[in-house]
A and B are shown apart, each in its own frame.
Chain A
């Protein structure tokens, strides 16, 4: 059984740029959630995708957007990067539809915005 994989693991961008983070869900999972974890904080919910549609969204501006593909892989896109966007971005998949419950997290993509 393949777990949740994310890419890239680390990246550095400058303010104003755009970034795309990728996630492959655990085998058999059809729901993917994205979380942002700032330094010293707990993960904060960005949004969830189920059947290729956004199923729920946290308190993040529209410049945070996502996609889910037919194979249940997913992307997180962030436009017009700001310094405060520097964080660990976690992807989590689940087989519960739709819902939080037990989430299976990837290792995360650490984004640094200069």
Chain B
């Protein structure tokens, strides 16, 4: 059973508009969440993270929102740029798994930003 779910395999957005990528999780013990971006033929690149003690974290054009009661987080990209086109992975860890380096990844959402 998947503990981290990204239910949208793909998302297409116009340049300059907002991209919203969603992620749901089932394990209430998760306390740290991350987003990674992956271009073809490259490894995933860390984008932004959020601890469960916060509900929002912002870094430039990227903002992650965490709703613990709904077990849901989202990544907002504003404004979207063609270079943002990539696969975005949501990942999570709990205190025990995190101490072992165990990140649980979703299947990813492929974002296409059209000029």
Residues of A at under 8 Å CB distance from B? Answer: 4, 31, 33, 35, 40-45, 48, 50, 55-58, 90, 92, 94, 98-108
Contacts and interface: CB of A to CB of B under 8 A. Distances in A.
Given A56-B102, A98-B101, A99-B98, 10 more contacts: A40-B107, A42-B91, A43-B103, A45-B102, A55-B100, A56-B100, A100-B100, A103-B46, A107-B42, A108-B43
Contacts of B45: 105
Nearest to A4: B43
Contacts of A57: 100
Contact of B101 (A4, A33, A44, A107): A33
A35 B34 CA distance: 16
Contacts of A4: 43
B69 interface: no
- Looking at A40, A55, A98, A105, the one whose CB has the most chain B CB atoms below 10 A away is A105
19 contacts: A4-B43, A31-B101, A41-B107, A42-B105, A45-B101, A45-B102, A45-B103, A56-B102, A57-B100, A90-B44, A92-B43, A94-B101, A98-B99, A98-B100, A100-B98, A102-B46, A102-B49, A103-B103, A105-B43
A102 B97 CA distance: 14
B41 interface: yes
B19 interface: no
Interface residues of B, number: 27
Contacts of A94: 101
A48 B107 contact: no
Interface of B: 4, 6, 32, 34, 36, 41-46, 49, 89, 91, 93, 97-108
Contact of A48 (B34, B102, B105, B106): B102
A105 B43 CA distance: 5
Given A42-B107, A56-B99, A100-B103, A107 B46 contact: no
